[in-house]
Amino acid sequence: MNSPRVFSGMRPTGRLHLGNYLGALQNWVVLQERYECIYCVVDVHALTTVQSKEDAGQVQGNIREMVLDWLAAGIDPKRSILFVQSHVPEVLTLHALLSMVTPLGWLMRVPTFKEKVRQVTKASANQSEEALAMGDEHVSYGLLGYPVLQTADIILYKAQYVPVGQDQVPHLELAREITRRFNRTFGETFPEPQARLTEAPLILGLDGKDKMSKSLNNHVDLAATPEETAARIRTAFTDPLRLRRSDPGRPQVCNVYSLHKLFSTDSEVKTVYAECTTAKRGCVECKGHLAQNINAALAQFRQRRAEYAANPAYVDEMLAVGARRAHAIAKATMAEVREKMGLTPAPA
Ligand code: SF4
C-alpha cells in the first residue's frame, strides 16, 4: 500500500536561516521516513509581493540557494519529490478553476491578507481597510487569491497531510473549506487535506524580540561561515538589565540562553545557567561558546552544501526529475477535474 502523501512548500527567499531549519526543514527530513513527501519551491507565491522586474529576477536566483539548503539538510530527492511550482503549470489552471467556487468574502476575511495589504501599502492597521476600499494599485488579485493558489498546490497532488504549526491551522482550514465546496459542487474529487501538527520551537531572532526572519535582519544563515556565524551571534541582544560584567544575569529572558538549549548539551546548559546567574561568565564568552556549538552542529550540513553547490548540473537535473514526477500526478488530477467540471478533454 502507498504511504499517505504530504505536501509542503517554501517561498524562495534565498539562503535559509536557523529558524527555518529548526522550525520546518528538520521536520521535513523526518517526514520522509513515513510519508510520500512532495516539497515545492513556491516561486509563483513569491511573486504576489513583487513589484518590479528586478525583484522578480531575484526570486528565480533564490531558488537554487534554497534548494541547496534543502539537500544539505537531508531532503532526499530519491524518496521525496522536490520541484519548482511554476515548472508544473497545471497548478495555475487549478487555481483559476478553484477561484470559481471560492466566495470573495472568505478571502477578504483572511487575517494574513489584511496583514499583507498593510505591508504592500505600508498602511497602518486602520488605513489598510481604507486602502482596500480605495482599490490601492499595489493590492493585486494575486495577493487576495493567495490561499486559493495554496489550496491548488496541495490538492493538485491529492495530498492527505500538510505539516503546519498550531498557528497555521486556520490557514489550512480555508483550503479544506474550498476543497469541500469543490467536492460538493462537482462530486468527490479531492481528499480534504489534514493538518500534520508539528511542535517546532519558536526561534527568536538575534534581537530577542521577534521570530527569526531575514526581513528583520535578526537571523543567522545556515550556510554562513563559522566566522560569520560567530560575528552574527556577537550582535545578539541579551538580558537588558545586565549592564556590567559583575551583574548576575537572567538567562530566562535571554535568547542566547534559549539558543544554548537547542545547540548545547544538557550539562553545558546547566553550566550556562549557573554561571550566568552568579556572574561567573560574561555575555561575550557565552556568545562565543554558543557560536562554537552552532558551528559544530552545522559542520556536516555546510560540507554537504558545498558539495552540492559545486555540482549545479546535479541540482538542475534533480529539479527536472522532480518536475516530471510532479507533472505526472498533476496531469492525472487535471484530467479528472476537467471531466468533473464538464470541460472537454485537453488535446494530447
Ligand atoms: S551570560 Fe549568557 S545567558 Fe547570561 S545574559 Fe549573558 S548571554 Fe545571556
Question: Ligand 1 center to residue 245 CA distance, Å?
Answer: 10
Name the nearest CA neighbour of 29 among 80, 91, 74, 85: 74
CATH number of the domain where residue 318 is located: 3.40.50.620
C-alpha 338/C-alpha 186 separation (Å) is 10
3-state secondary structure of 276: helix
Q: Which residues make Cβ contacts (< 8 Å) with residue 317, sequence separation at least 6?
A: none
DSSP state of 23: I
Residue 218: inside a domain: no
Start-to-end CA span in the chain (Å): 31
3-state secondary structure of 198: coil
Does residue 328 or residue 131 have the better pLDDT? 328
Residue carrying C-alpha cell 523526518? 30
Question: Ligand 1 center to residue 260 CA distance, Å?
Answer: 10
Residue 216: inside a domain: no
The answer on 176 and 104 residing in a single domain is yes
Contact assessment for residue 323 and residue 84, using Cβ atoms and an 8 Å cutoff:
yes
Neighbour count for residue 56 (Cβ, 10 Å): 13
Question: Ligand 1 center to residue 283 CA distance, Å?
Answer: 5
pLDDT value of position 345: 79
Contact assessment for residue 287 and residue 259, using Cβ atoms and an 8 Å cutoff:
no
Question: Ligand 1 center to residue 253 CA distance, Å?
Answer: 9
DSSP state of 304: H
Rg (CA), the chain: 23
The answer on 158 and 236 residing in a single domain is no
C-alpha 325/C-alpha 135 separation (Å) is 41
In terms of phi and psi (left: phi > 0; alpha: psi -120 to 50; beta: otherwise), the region of 311 is beta
3-state secondary structure of 9: strand
C-alpha 82/C-alpha 66 separation (Å) is 12
Long-range contacts of 294-300 (CB under 8 A, 24+ apart): 294/18, 294/220, 294/229, 294/233, 294/259, 294/263, 295/226, 295/229, 295/230, 297/263, 298/222, 298/229
pLDDT value of position 35: 96
Question: Ligand 1 center to residue 263 CA distance, Å?
Answer: 15
The answer on 181 and 262 residing in a single domain is no
Ligand 1 atom nearest to CA at 277: 4
Q: Which helix (H) or strand (E) holds 163?
A: strand 161-164
CATH number of the domain where residue 256 is located: 1.10.240.10
Ligand 1 atom nearest to CA at 260: 3
Ligand 1 atom nearest to CA at 283: 6
Q: Assign 59 a pLDDT band (cuts: 50, 70, 90).
A: confident
The answer on 106 and 196 residing in a single domain is yes
The answer on 25 and 113 residing in a single domain is yes
pLDDT value of position 213: 92
Cα separations in angstroms, 38 against 144, 237, 277, 283: 25, 38, 46, 43
The answer on 65 and 88 residing in a single domain is yes
Q: Assign 126 a pLDDT band (cuts: 50, 70, 90).
A: low
Q: Tens of pLDDT along 178-235?
A: 999 999 999 999 999 999 988 777 899 999 999 999 989 999 999 999 999 999 999 9
The cell for 202 is: 519558536
pLDDT value of position 124: 58
Q: Print the domain residue range for 267.
A: 226-305
Residue 157: inside a domain: yes
Contact assessment for residue 139 and residue 120, using Cβ atoms and an 8 Å cutoff:
yes
The answer on 248 and 191 residing in a single domain is no
The answer on 327 and 266 residing in a single domain is no
Q: Residue with the nearest Cα to atom 6 of ligand 1?
A: 283
DSSP state of 337: H
Q: Assign 96 a pLDDT band (cuts: 50, 70, 90).
A: very high
CB-defined site of ligand 1, < 6 Å: 238-239, 242, 249, 251, 254, 256-257, 272, 276, 281, 283, 286-287
The answer on 69 and 148 residing in a single domain is yes
Ligand 1 atom nearest to CA at 282: 1
What is the reported pTM? 0.91
Question: Ligand 1 center to residue 73 CA distance, Å?
Answer: 29
Q: For the residues 123-135, what does the mean pLDDT come to?
A: 59
Structurally, how many domains does the chain consist of?
Answer: 2
pLDDT value of position 125: 56
Strand partners, 82: 39
Q: Tens of pLDDT along 256-282?
A: 999 999 999 999 999 999 999 999 999
The answer on 70 and 139 residing in a single domain is yes
Ligand 1 atom nearest to CA at 275: 1
